Structure formats: structure tokens, C-alpha cells
Amino acid sequence: MITVGILAKIRRMYFREKVPLREIARRTGLSRNTVRRWLRQTDTVEQNYPKRVSPSVIDDWAAQLTGWLRADSHRPKRDRRTARFMFEAIRAEGYAGSYGRVSASVRRWHEGQIEAPRNKAFVPLAFEPGEAFQFDRSCEYAFIGGLQRRLEVAHVKLNSSRAFWLVAYPTQSHEMLFDANTRAVQNVRRILSRPLHDGRCSGRRVGTA
């Protein structure tokens, strides 16, 4: 059986080096008829073999590095581990390779994240008139009777028309939340089915269900 390597050698000797069939047969140990038959097959295509992958010293630590990188992708950049930090961490656990391998592994992971398709999802913000409103609050200052006073301002905004009401209160309390919601319903003249409250203004104390 003629391998791809022998076939390439035969074609190179005959077409490039102009070696006679007799000499090719002598060098390869094949008959002249066999050499002639293979040279006539012009549609022969050399097979492509996958590259041989040699095990790397970083392979045993790849899962740990990937876990760190995935966790850090959800953190602010200033809180993420650097490649140097990862190298020192796994070296303390027994990694015997170089820093360059760790850095290259981190770089390949980031490049893969850039090239990977991202499944983008969105929530359509479409509302019927009077269907829902948002409630939030802010701290403002005003001069009343010549004195600067701190006021807690309730913000009520309709999601459909973006119309809003601002009501100021002396203190922040549950009464502020209830009164502002009541005023919104009275102005719209219908029951708003979907009040959307900020998490800080949900009408319950922190730490309670």
C-alpha cells in the first residue's frame, strides 16, 4: 500500500526533479507499472491530518483558570484577578510551568469571549395609558421662612406618557409612600395595575419579609 508520503515523493521526483521511472522504482522499491499508475492519477488529493496536540503543563489548571475568569467577568475591572495573580496562586498549589503559559491561556479565553456570539435579550417597554407607573424618591433642599430645610421628594411617573408628579414631604415614612401613590391614582382617575417601585422604596423595612 502506498502512503500519502510515498506518493508525494514519487510525484516530486518525477515532475520536479525529472527522475526516470526506472530510477524512481529502484529508489522506492515499487514496480514501474505501479509508479506509472499512480502518476496517472491526477485527481489524487493528499489527506489533511489533524495536528498532533501535545499535552501541556497548563492543562491540569485550565478548569481552575476558566472558573476564575468566568467569575471575574461579572465583577468590576478593578476587582478582577490579573494573569500574574493567577500564576502566583496556582504556582503555590504546585503548578510548575511558566508565567507565559498562564498569560497565553488567559488571553485566549478573553479572545474567545469577544468572538463568541452573544445572546441578546431585551424586555419591550411598552405600556398602555395609565397601566403602570414608577415610584422613586430623592432628597432635596429648599429655603422655607429663611431657613434651609431638607425635604423628601416623592417622584411618580407614568410609564406610557412619562407624565409625572413631585410631592415634597418633611420626612421619609410609609405615609409618604402611601400618600404619593394615592395622589397618583387620583390624578389618573383610574386604578394603576402595575406600580413599579424602587427596591429601596418598597414599603417594608430592611431585613423583613
Segment (H or E) for 71:
helix 62-72
Residue 139 and residue 193 in one domain? yes
pLDDT score, position 189: 61
Q: What is the pLDDT of residues 104-135, one digit of tens each?
A: 999 999 888 876 666 566 666 677 776 777 77
Does residue 121 form part of some domain? no
Residue 136 and residue 197 in one domain? yes
CB atoms closer than 10 angstroms to residue 169: 16
Does residue 123 form part of some domain? no
Does residue 174 form part of some domain? yes
Does residue 45 form part of some domain? no
Q: How many domains does the chain have?
A: 3
pLDDT score, position 14: 86
Can you tell me the distance from the alpha carbon of 148 to that of 24, in angstroms, rounded to the nearest whole number? 105
pLDDT score, position 191: 58
CB atoms closer than 10 angstroms to residue 61: 22
pLDDT score, position 204: 45
Burial 110-141 (b: 16+ CB within 10 A, else e): eeeeeeeeeeeeeeeeeeeebeebbbebeeee
Does residue 8 form part of some domain? yes
pLDDT score, position 207: 38
Does residue 48 form part of some domain? no
Residues of the chain with pLDDT below 50 are 47, 49, 200-209
pLDDT score, position 149: 86
Residue 108 and residue 157 in one domain? no
Does residue 209 form part of some domain? no
Residue 137 and residue 197 in one domain? yes
Q: Domain span at residue 28? A: 4-40
**Do 157 and 134 form a contact (C-beta atoms < 8 A)?**
yes
pLDDT score, position 84: 93
Residue 147 and residue 195 in one domain? yes
Chain center to CA of 121: 13
Residue 146 and residue 186 in one domain? yes
Does residue 47 form part of some domain? no
pLDDT score, position 90: 93
